[in-house]
């Protein structure tokens, strides 16, 4: 029998920002963000990832005070209701305040490079830490999407993530608290993202849980481009992302970070059924 522990965690995205690439402004107020978080929980989210800074290519960074004003009231409210929360931040000040407000996970897209002090926050509070592959801030990260060495993007990402893991351990973070994310779309061209998705076994060799965040990203839009070459709009990429969710779940990743929690939840129910019925026992859905 397949249990919830055998399936990826669903991390629902709550962007408390005016400029995120997929839903900028929709949940920018505290009240809207809290309501959206509740909606994602009702759809089946295991974790809510609360972010106050857009990391889309070209995004302008908010002040620390702005980021705090965006995320802390949302974390306080949803934590009081029993939600498991992650804070999506690169800043040690925001990480510290978020953990005190109730966040259980720090999701750092820079893997500690933007603000190394964040690793000491993780160690001091002994919380889970998601270290993503990252090379630069949004304003120029795509300039660094060059992987010319032996093994290409897969080897480079694995090597650089290994360095981030070593930095975390050196700062006192327990290894069993670390989750890695290959950073799809961050300093990556379209083909780089597909190469990484094909190479999940290589990421597994790092010996740590893997989070995949492909939701609505531009490489999916490019794949689904129309006959004129125009990328599929953000709101038309969900079916492709659900397909990816199914595939990476079959591989056995630790978690998927998604906007559409309902679709991801349905995909994982399919995966659970495929895994739990290897002998072709009775179909719970009937004859059709």
Q: Are 240 and 214 in contact (CB under 8 A)?
A: no
Q: Please confirm, yes or no, whether 217 is among the known catalytic residues.
A: yes
**Coil, strand or helix: which one is 149?**
coil
Contacts by 235-241, CB closer than 8 A, 24 or more apart: 238/263, 241/214, 241/215, 241/216
**Coil, strand or helix: which one is 210?**
strand
Name the catalytic one among 9, 232, 237, 257: 257
DSSP characters for 86-145? EEE-S-HHHHHHHHHHT--EEEETTTTSS-THHHHHHHHHT-EEEEE---S-TTTGGGG-
Domain positions in the chain: 9-274
Q: Are 210 and 199 in contact (CB under 8 A)?
A: no
Q: Are 260 and 236 in contact (CB under 8 A)?
A: no
Residues of the chain with pLDDT under 70: 1-5, 19-25, 277-288
Tell me, what's the pLDDT at 84? Answer: 99
Tell me, what's the pLDDT at 2? Answer: 42
Structure tokens at 111: 């893997």
Assign a CATH topology to domain 9-274.
Answer: TIM Barrel (3.20.20)
**Coil, strand or helix: which one is 132?**
strand
Tell me, what's the pLDDT at 277? Answer: 66
Tell me, what's the pLDDT at 139? Answer: 80
Q: Please confirm, yes or no, whether 216 is among the known catalytic residues.
A: no
Q: Are 70 and 64 in contact (CB under 8 A)?
A: no
Residue at token pair 């522990």? 5
Tell me, what's the pLDDT at 286? Answer: 57
Distance CA 36, CA 30 (A): 10
Residues 6+ apart with CB under 8 A from 269: none
Name the catalytic one among 70, 217, 232, 237: 217
């Amino acid at each position: 029998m397949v249990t919830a522990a055998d399936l990826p965690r669903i991390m629902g995205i709550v962007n408390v920002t005016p400029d995120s690439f997929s839903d900028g402004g929709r949940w920018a107020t505290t009240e809207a963000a809290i309501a959206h978080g509740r909606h994602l929980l009702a759809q089946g989210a295991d974790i809510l990832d609360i972010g106050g800074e857009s990391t889309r290519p070209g995004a302008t960074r908010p002040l620390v005070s702005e980021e705090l004003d965006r995320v802390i009231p949302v974390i306080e409210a949803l934590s009081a209701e029993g939600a498991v929360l992650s804070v999506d931040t690169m800043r040690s000040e925001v990480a510290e305040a978020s953990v005190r407000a109730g966040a259980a996970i720090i999701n750092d897209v820079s893997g500690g490079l933007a603000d190394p002090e964040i690793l000491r926050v993780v160690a001091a509070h002994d919380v889970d830490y998601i270290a993503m592959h990252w090379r630069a801030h949004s304003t120029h990260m795509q300039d660094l999407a060059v992987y010319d060495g032996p093994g290409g993007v897969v080897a480079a990402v694995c090597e650089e993530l290994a360095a981030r893991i070593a930095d975390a351990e050196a700062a006192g973070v327990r290894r069993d608290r670390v989750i890695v994310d290959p950073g799809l779309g961050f300093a990556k061209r379209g083909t780089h993202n597909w190469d990484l998705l094909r190479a999940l076994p290589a990421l597994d060799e790092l010996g740590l849980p893997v989070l995949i965040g492909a939701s609505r990203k531009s490489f999916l839009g490019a794949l689904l481009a129309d006959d004129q070459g125009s990328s599929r709009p953000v709101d038309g990429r969900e079916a492709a992302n659900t397909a990816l969710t199914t595939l990476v779940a079959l591989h056995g990743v630790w978690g998927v970070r998604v906007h559409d929690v309902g679709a991801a939840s349905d995909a994982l129910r399919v995966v659970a059924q495929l895994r739990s019925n290897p002998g072709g026992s009775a179909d719970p859905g009937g004859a059709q």
